[in-house]
Structure 1
């Protein structure tokens, strides 16, 4: 890499770091204000048990959204993560029912998600197809395979050692939340402290300029979608453990929740901007909003309207920020 390119990437990373920090502060402030309002409106909201419930409910979507963060920063999109989640859960659960030990079954579930992500990446980079079309097709394919493997029926009879991953607690913290903390820390490190992470931002900021600068954009975009698939695989395994069964219809609509969490957390759908911390905050904003509206006995139909308005507002604020830049 030339010294000029290295200096330019350093400048872009520094600028993005300041922008991402500001976006995270806005998102965190919004989360605090939302929690404060709901605490006043519902005395049950700030209880310890309810906070744990919110964390557990949010963990799966947040893990799914972490993979989506890499994709959106690179100016892509992955609409298949909900279906990949379902298929990964089905594969690992069927292996468990057949007597495969927990750890290998869990790893195979995650790897299967990564393979589907790899197929997405190769179709996008080698086939020069739009990410929207490729991942939309994969959404149908993965969901169909999950239904074929199970004949549309849940996979039950999972061993206790596996289901405890989704339902037990360690030091009062649900195990899925611990998984979220670990993958978020690792994901943040990779995105902010590695060459691969810098390339993700460079590709999202200007893919053609990144390619001309010597960055192997096709390879790294394929790696990004593979990584997103692995996150979806992990989310699918944990969801199956939590539900004590693998549902072939699980994860329907989760891709939209994951994208919403990333955008609410400050990422730009135009690429080049976003952070792991912001995504986690965005996921918890959605989780807190849903939980609070449930406690207030608000109809699920109105909840969809409220969440939709929050997403539109987040995108609008991103557009204003980009105009100022």
Structure 2
């Protein structure tokens, strides 16, 4: 046994030999993710996204100067954009965790629809607003956990498992609602979308709360560090003592929870629910996460970036609406932005990272 001489130098070793640090595991080496954290690349990317928002606003001011000259209209338009982004923003928080963890969830839109339809059945509404909210959350979390079990323990590819759930959940929602629109009779639920606090819609507050909790969970908890570790290197995470299967299942359960909250928000907006609601939300959520810098291969992403991605898409939608442009043109622009974002992920930031590493050495 080697004893220390009390000066930090191990006895029996040369005086100039420093103590050997233990090797870090894959989980310990995971980068810290956040706006102002150690990873300056994330900060630069978020600043670029803010710059994109500024450019979009400038385009709006140039094309519709008579509108942007009215400060009241500008403020109301900002609130409209944030309210438009609120529901898909909540879904995107859950999607960001799943993608960072190395997975994908194509069923989020169908889960929102199923939870909304189940919560607005006559039987459920008889229990009041509390019963409706509880049902939406439980149904969405249960479906999310089923996805997680199929992927973790059934060893299905996430793409296949969640694609199958997309079809099944939409079918079950159509069966429950008999393909009819179900009207919400709850004044409390219906009032969420119409309500305001200090002039700001309640839906925006809900998004802010969910995004804040998501940021804390990802950046300040063991759960977040494990998510990054699992997405970055599954085998290293397993060797570090992380129960990868259980953690993956919980990630899909978290995605389901966000879908349940979004279902109540969307039901409130339309005072109704139907099997076709939240159509293509999975694509919007994935696109927003990618725009925000989340790697499709897992291991990296930020809640702040994802929220900026959601707001950018909402701003584009608003910009096209006030200029009377078609939805088809809007979708083409969105598709181009997604392709550009993926190309930037694959080439630009990798090149910058290599350049920085070379300079440090």
Q: Same fold (TM over 0.5)?
A: yes
C-alpha distance after superposition, 1:253-299 (max 9, x if no partner): 11100101101111111111111111110000000011101111111
Match of 1:72 among 83, 99, 123: 99
Poorly superposed stretches of 4+, deviation over 4 Å: none
Kept in 2: contact 1:74–1:221 (CA 8 A)? yes
Aligned mates of 1:67, 1:96 — CA distance in 2:
29
Match of 1:102 among 110, 129, 138: 129
**Residue 272 to residue 159, structure 1, CA distance change in 2 (3 Å):** same
Question: 1:172 matched to which residue of 2?
Answer: 199
C-alpha distance after superposition, 1:47-94 (max 9, x if no partner): 111111111111011111110000111121000000000111111122
- Confirm whether residue 302 of structure 1 aligns to residue 329 of structure 2: yes
Aligned mates of 2:206, 2:175 — CA distance in 1:
30
Question: 2:350 matched to which residue of 1?
Answer: 322
Kept in 2: contact 1:72–1:271 (CA 8 A)? yes
Aligned mates of 1:3, 1:179 — CA distance in 2:
44
Q: Which has the higher contact order (CA 8 A, sep 6+)?
A: 1
Question: 2:226 matched to which residue of 1?
Answer: 199
Aligned mates of 1:104, 1:124 — CA distance in 2:
30
Cα displacement (A) at 1:3: 6.1
Kept in 1: contact 2:128–2:186 (CA 8 A)? no
Question: 1:21 matched to which residue of 2?
Answer: 43
Cα displacement (A) at 1:96: 7.2
Match of 1:267 among 278, 290, 294: 294
Give 5+ residue unaligned stretches, structure 1.
none
Cα displacement (A) at 1:162: 1.2
**Residue 162 to residue 72, structure 1, CA distance change in 2 (3 Å):** same
Kept in 2: contact 1:109–1:234 (CA 8 A)? yes
Higher helix share: 1
Question: 1:49 matched to which residue of 2?
Answer: 76
Kept in 2: contact 1:84–1:232 (CA 8 A)? yes
Give 5+ residue unaligned stretches, structure 2.
1-20, 354-361
Q: TM-score, normalised by structure 1?
A: 0.95
Cα displacement (A) at 1:303: 0.7
Question: 2:114 matched to which residue of 1?
Answer: 87
Cα displacement (A) at 1:233: 1.1
Question: 1:163 matched to which residue of 2?
Answer: 190
Match of 1:40 among 62, 65, 77: 62
- Written as runs of structure 1 = structure 2, the 5 A alignment for 1:236-247 is 236-247=263-274
- Confirm whether residue 213 of structure 1 aligns to residue 240 of structure 2: yes
Q: TM-score, normalised by structure 2?
A: 0.85
**Residue 116 to residue 157, structure 1, CA distance change in 2 (3 Å):** closer
Cα displacement (A) at 1:18: 3.0
Kept in 1: contact 2:30–2:225 (CA 8 A)? no
- From the CA coordinates, give the structure whose radius of gyration is larger: 2
Aligned mates of 1:287, 1:160 — CA distance in 2:
28
Question: How many matched pairs?
Answer: 323
Kept in 2: contact 1:96–1:159 (CA 8 A)? no
Cα displacement (A) at 1:20: 2.3
Kept in 1: contact 2:27–2:240 (CA 8 A)? no
Cα displacement (A) at 1:39: 2.1
Aligned mates of 2:351, 2:296 — CA distance in 1:
14
- Secondary structure at 1:47 match in 2: helix
Match of 2:277 among 231, 242, 250: 250
**Farther-moved stretch of structure 1 (37-46 vs 271-280):** 37-46
